[in-house]
Structure formats: structure tokens, C-alpha cells
Amino acid sequence: MEPTPTPGRPVRGSATGRPVMAALDLLGRRWTLRAIWELHRHATPIGFRDLQRRCDDMSSSVLSTRLTELREADIATQTPDGAWQLTPLGEDLVTAMGPLLDWSRVWAERRG
């Protein structure tokens, strides 16, 4: 499996290891942003299968991979009983995504 993108190390699409490139690599993998979004929406720790259902029944193999990446990146974490939730850093990420969500609504309007 590809290593989890980490700032300071070369990543997919950039040899420099600049933080933004590592972030774009990590977040650009399929289902990653969606999983983060669903973790945020649920607000309390959530189990694997429950999270999977909320992500339109995405493949369990990919979900498992994504959660491992998010844990290694300090964006998500597991409670002692195994349920998943965002870390403070993960919540900050969701906040940082806010303007992007606003933009997507404008985008939708201008193309409707």
C-alpha cells in the first residue's frame, strides 16, 4: 500500500514534500473527504459499518485503508472500544473546508 502522505516527504504529484502537496495527496484520494465529512456530521464516535453505510455503502476495503491513513495523519482516531471520530486537527480541517463548501453552492447556482 502507498504510504500515508506526510509533509516533508515526497508524495504523489510532487517531489517537494511541501505541506500543501502532501495534504492534497491525502485528501484527494477517493472517499477521503467524504469520510471526514461524515465523521464530522455524526459528532459522536461511530462504528465502522455504520460509517460505511453513511458513505453510500462504499467498499469496506477502501474505507479501512482510508481510516488507517487518517489515523496515521492524526486526522481521525479510535476510542478504546474501536469507534471512530475526528481529532481536534481533523475538526480544524473540516472548518478549513467551509469556504470550499460555500463555493460549491455558488458553483451549483451558476450552472443550474
Partner DNA sequence: CCTTGCGCTTCGATTTCAGAAGCGCAAGAG
Partner DNA sequence: CTCTTGCGCTTCTGAAATCGAAGCGCAAGG
List residues binding its own copies (CB under 8 A). Answer: 6-8, 12-15, 19-24, 27-34, 37, 55-56, 58, 73-74, 89, 92-93, 95-108, 110-112
DSSP helix/strand/coil, 84: strand
The phi, psi pair for 33, rounded to 5°, reads -65, -35
Grid coordinates belonging to 72: 496515521
Q: Which does 61 bind (CB under 5 to 8 A by kind): DNA, its own copies, none?
A: DNA
User: How near is the Cβ of 5 to its own copies at its closest, in Å?
Assistant: 10
Report the alpha-carbon distance of residue 15 to residue 97 in Å, rounded. 25
**Footprint on this chain of DNA (rule: CB under 7 A):** 1-2, 12-13, 29-31, 47-50, 58-65, 67-68, 78, 82-84
User: How near is the Cβ of 30 to its own copies at its closest, in Å?
Assistant: 6
Report the alpha-carbon distance of residue 31 to residue 70 in Å, rounded. 11
User: How near is the Cβ of 51 to DNA at its closest, in Å?
Assistant: 8
Q: Which does 62 bind (CB under 5 to 8 A by kind): DNA, its own copies, none?
A: DNA
Grid coordinates belonging to 42: 455524526
Grid coordinates belonging to 22: 502532501
